[in-house]
Amino acid sequence: MERYTLKNLVAMLRSRDISSHEILEMYIQRISEHDSSFNSYITLSQDVALEKSIQADRLIESGDPLPLTGIPYAGKDIFCTQGIKTTCGSKMLENFIPPYDATVISNLNNQGAILMGKTNMDEFAMGSSNETSYFGPVHNPWDLARSPGGSSGGSAVAVAAGLAPIALGTDTGGSIRQPAAFTGITGLKPTYGRCSRYGMVAFASSLDQAGILALTAEDTAILLESLAGFDPMDSTSVETDVPKYSELLNVSIKGKTVGIPKEFFDEGLDAESEQVFLDAIKVYESLGVQFKDISLPHLGLSVPTYYVVAPAECSSNLARYDGIRFGYRHDEIDDLDDFYLTNRQIGFGAEVKRRIITGTYVLSAGYYDAYYLKAQKVRQLISQDFKKAFQDIDAVMGPTTQTPAFKIGEKIDDPVTMYMNDIYTIAANLAGLPAISHPCGFVQNLPFGLQIIAPHFAETELLNLTHLFQQETDWHQKQPPDLNEA
Amino acid sequence: MSVKKSEIAYISSLSKLKMEDAEMDNYTRQISEILEMIQQLEKVDTHDIEPMAHPLNMKQRLRLDLVTEENRRELYQKNAVVLEEGFYKVPKVIE
């Protein structure tokens, strides 16, 4: 089974080697044949999608297609999609049908792309393994007993397993980059404010950012051109031009300076993983990149800082789920307070409740200064570490994760161990910086990811570096073994 | 730092989350572990450091207070499980 890049599909459509309708039929066929092993989709929008593909073919026939006309994509089930169920991986929203589209969904639709389905995810994006989904865990195509990471695990698997050419995800603490690393694909978390959050179910609003899971940096660049942009409906959207990312991929990176923070090489990173990362660095060196050892002294405090800030924002954002206007509603309760308590007890899963309680605790009277205010100050220190570092370097590099994909069930009963999973990715969210993960080798026959973090709005830098790395290596082309036989 | 079960009971009532007794024990243990991990922050000197609420330190943008959308009450109400004559229905609050 061949995995097609977005770029390939556009070329095939333009040269009339294939029609959009045929592409859609192919993916829908693949999903119905193979997704029972992965559980990567929650909802398919195949009827609407097939209908749209016929219109797309007419537009291509007319000779005036839009940049993404006829191209299918998958969207994480956190993005509101008009008329299509949006569950956010929760029983709470099991039957929720949004009356409007998220801006990022409209942006892609307006460029001709076709939404094929909504992908599985950790409940309300809270999790790093996809095991907190009400709709069951997602399985990693490299080893079905392993987790694909999370929370955008369904989107990552759909792309890695050839069930979508490209997918949208969200990243609050690593939820695009960690699953991309675990499944051997490329994942970009843009700068906070680069892509609209309007219509994206809120988890932690000062950290949430929509992004892309793709096979290549080139595909990521093409999609980002349509995805990014100012949105008056999102009060934190930033009014700044969207570069032509895809035209800046081949700029020479000779003479670029990249910092490697010593804090990434802690006791959690095993020797084999470290070696794979160091071998990848040699490729960059051969392209003329200069490396510098740096220190980001507060990086080690990212996880505790995040687990104050994110649950605090979560407890506030999730207060809206009362079961009255939408969401799970339990029948036959006479008392109003009991009604709220029961709807939320049954509608939310264990991890979501754990974070609501943690968040309410750190914001409660007597603890606010000690926890929340303190964490906001440490967040400032982490952000300043990056600002100082970027005075001398163009980007930061390190491994995306400490280990390759772990087994399903291995960490789910121990929240703190699970939280430590995002130790290398969280800092970029706290500082609002753009970051990418790309495949850089294998550890025990499982894909391993390299992360690059750049200054605010320097997505171009990330895509440029990754693209040139992908011209020299073929890690991103390796597909899960079973796919070759399917 | 460990948290008491009574505190978890109070916090869960503030959060409007009903909990069985065994669940409460579990959360008491897990949240204590989470708070212990968070405790690392105490050691950091944050004297004179401005708290950071937002990654880009931007100003709040305001729009004009004009009606831009039509009323789509029926569409919005489609997601409610129980409605009566166009109203959302909740348990009785006034005797």
pLDDT, one tens digit for every residue, chain A (486 residues): 899 999 999 999 999 999 999 999 999 999 999 999 999 999 999 999 999 999 999 999 999 999 999 999 999 999 999 999 999 999 999 999 999 999 999 999 999 999 999 999 999 999 999 999 999 999 999 999 999 999 999 999 999 999 999 999 999 999 999 999 999 999 999 999 999 999 999 999 999 999 999 999 999 999 999 999 999 999 999 999 999 999 999 999 999 999 999 999 988 898 999 999 999 999 999 999 999 999 999 999 999 999 999 999 999 999 999 999 999 999 889 999 999 999 999 999 999 999 999 999 999 988 999 999 999 999 999 999 999 999 999 999 999 999 999 999 999 989 998 998 899 999 999 999 999 999 999 999 999 999 999 999 999 999 999 999 999 999 999 999 988 776
Contact A124, A108 (CB under 8 A): no
The Cα–Cα gap between A200 and A104 comes to 9
CATH of the domain at A277: 3.90.1300.10
Q: Do B91 and A333 touch (CB under 8 A)?
A: yes
Does a structural domain hold residue A91? yes
Token pair listed for A2: 């061949």
Question: Hey, is the C-beta of A417 within 8 angstroms of any chain B C-beta?
Answer: no
Question: Hey, is the C-beta of B58 within 8 angstroms of any chain A C-beta?
Answer: yes
The Cα–Cα gap between A114 and A109 comes to 6
Half-sphere exposure in the Cβ direction for A314 (13 Å, CA): 26
B91 chain-A contacts, CB cut-off 8 A: 333-336, 338-339
Residue type, A13: L
CA A43 from chain centre, in angstroms, equals 18
Nearest to A49 by CA among A30, A77, A23, A79: A23
Does a structural domain hold residue B36? yes
Q: What is the CA radius of gyration of chain B?
A: 23
Q: Which of A97, A333, A358 sits opposite B79 (nearest CB)?
A: A97
Distance from CA of A422 to the nearest CA of B (A): 14
Does a structural domain hold residue A321? yes
Nearest to A76 by CA among A10, A8, A125, A6: A125
Q: Do A357 and B56 touch (CB under 8 A)?
A: no
Number of folded domains in chain B? 1
Does a structural domain hold residue B27? yes
Q: Give me the residue label for tokens 């895809």.
A: A246
Q: Do B18 and A361 touch (CB under 8 A)?
A: no
The Cα–Cα gap between A449 and A439 comes to 4
Nearest to A422 by CA among A184, A214, A172, A209: A172
Q: How many CB pairs below 8 Å do chains A and B form together?
A: 165
Does a structural domain hold residue A480? yes
Question: Hey, is the C-beta of A364 within 8 angstroms of any chain B C-beta?
Answer: yes
Number of folded domains in chain A? 1
Q: Do A357 and B8 touch (CB under 8 A)?
A: yes
Q: Which domain holds residue A202?
A: 1-239+251-486
The Cα–Cα gap between A58 and A16 comes to 12
Measured CA to CA in angstroms, residue A462 lies from A160, A253, A470 at distances of: 21, 11, 12
Does a structural domain hold residue A325? yes
Q: Do B51 and A235 touch (CB under 8 A)?
A: no
* Coil, helix or strand at residue A461: helix
Does a structural domain hold residue A364? yes
Residues 6+ positions from A159 with CB-CB distance below 8 Å = A3, A74, A165, A166, A167, A183, A185, A213, A214, A215
A210-214 sheet: strands from edge to edge:
A41-44, A114-119, A72-76, A166-170, A210-214, A186-189, A435-443, A446-453, A395-399, A257-261, A290-294
The Cα–Cα gap between A458 and A387 comes to 13
Q: Which domain holds residue B22?
A: 5-43
B-facing residues of A in 143-182 (CB < 8 A) are none
CATH of the domain at B32: 1.10.20
Does a structural domain hold residue A244? no
